[in-house]
């Protein structure tokens, strides 16, 4: 969950940074900026990851019900899991923005050969 939230924040920040830098912007064939679509794609991908994680947990819970370790699939907890993913995304976006404004990057993915 934390890795997903942090990855989202990092990618979102990179899209913003590229949008601010005229030399690194991405454009459609018609000359319009691609930034809005990149953000929408990132949100869609995050939603798909949340749905995937939720389905994995549901399958694991079904197995536990079959084995008799759980009386039923914990529906409430499944919804709380989804909420937790979105809270992590929002918290990391905020933390990433604050650290960037303070001049202290939260993480650095730069690899030196």
Asked, for residue 77, whether it belongs to a domain, the answer is yes
**pLDDT recorded at residue 80:** 93
What distance in Å separates the CA atoms of residue 19 and residue 33, rounded to the nearest whole number? 8
Our count of domains for the chain comes to: 1
What distance in Å separates the CA atoms of residue 5 and residue 13, rounded to the nearest whole number? 12
Asked, for residue 97, whether it belongs to a domain, the answer is yes
Asked, for residue 21, whether it belongs to a domain, the answer is no
With contact defined as beta carbons under 8 Å apart, do 42 and 15 qualify? yes
In this prediction the pTM is 0.77
**Tens digit of each residue's pLDDT (9 = 90 or more) over 62-102:** 999 999 998 988 889 888 999 999 999 999 999 988 888 88
Is residue 84 packed enough to be buried (19+ CB in 10 Å), middle (13-18) or exposed (0-12)? middle
> Whole domain around residue 93: which residue ranges?
2-15+33-101
**pLDDT recorded at residue 28:** 75
């Amino acid at each position: 969950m934390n890795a997903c939230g942090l990855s989202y924040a990092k990618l979102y920040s990179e899209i913003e940074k590229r949008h601010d830098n005229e030399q690194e912007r991405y454009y459609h064939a018609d000359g319009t900026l691609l930034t809005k679509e990149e953000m929408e794609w990132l949100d869609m991908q995050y939603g798909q990851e949340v749905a995937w994680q939720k389905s994995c947990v549901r399958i694991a819970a079904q197995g536990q019900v079959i084995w008799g370790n759980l009386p039923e699939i914990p529906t409430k907890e499944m919804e709380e899991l989804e909420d937790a993913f979105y809270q992590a995304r929002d918290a990391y976006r905020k933390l990433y923005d604050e650290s960037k404004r303070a001049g202290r990057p939260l993480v650095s993915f730069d690899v030196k050969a």
